[in-house]
Structure 1
Amino acid sequence: MTLEEGSTGGFGALVLHLLSARGALDGGSVRVRTLTLPDAYQDHDTPERMYAQAGLDAPAIVRTVRDLLPAQPRASSREAAVVSVARRPR
C-alpha cells in the first residue's frame, strides 16, 4: 500500500510501474492499493476533515489495510479458548 498527499500519478504510480515491469502483478497474488488525494477541488477546512473526506485519515487507512489482507480462517471455539488462556496476563 502506498499513501501520499499528492494526486494520481505520483509515488504510487511509480511503485505500480516497478511491480508491473518486474512481473509481480502477473500471478494475481500481490495486493496493491494506492491512496492519494482526490484529483478534484476540496473546500478549505481543517486538515483532519480534508483527510477524512479524501479517505486518508487513520480509520480509512486501517479499513483499507484490513480489506487488503487475505481472509483468515475462523478458529474453532476450542482453539479460541486456548488462545484466550495463553494471552491471559500472569
Structure 2
Amino acid sequence: MQRHELTDKEWDLLAPLIPSAVTGQPRGDDRGVINGMVYTTRTGMPWHDLPHRYGPWKTVYYPLLPLCAERCLHPGPPADPGPS
C-alpha cells in the first residue's frame, strides 16, 4: 500500500457500496480507480500527472464527475451565521 491509498480495512467497508457493471465491458480494478481518486484529491495534483499505477487518468477522472456535479449543485445546508 502506498501513501494516500485506502487501507484494507477502509476498502472492506467501501467495496460493498460500489455497484457492479450491469452491461457493457467489465470494469477494471475498482480499488485502483478509487485509490487514484483519493491520491489526486489528497495531493492536489493535475489529473494528467496521475501515476501510471492507478491506470489512465480518464479512467479515474470520469467516474468522479457525477459526484462532483452533485456536490456542486447541492452543496448542503448553508453555514450557520451565528447570533444576529
State TM-score, norm by structure 1.
Answer: 0.25
Larger radius of gyration, structure 1 or 2? 1
Query: Higher helix fraction: Structure 1 or Structure 2?
Result: 2
Query: Higher strand fraction: Structure 1 or Structure 2?
Result: 1
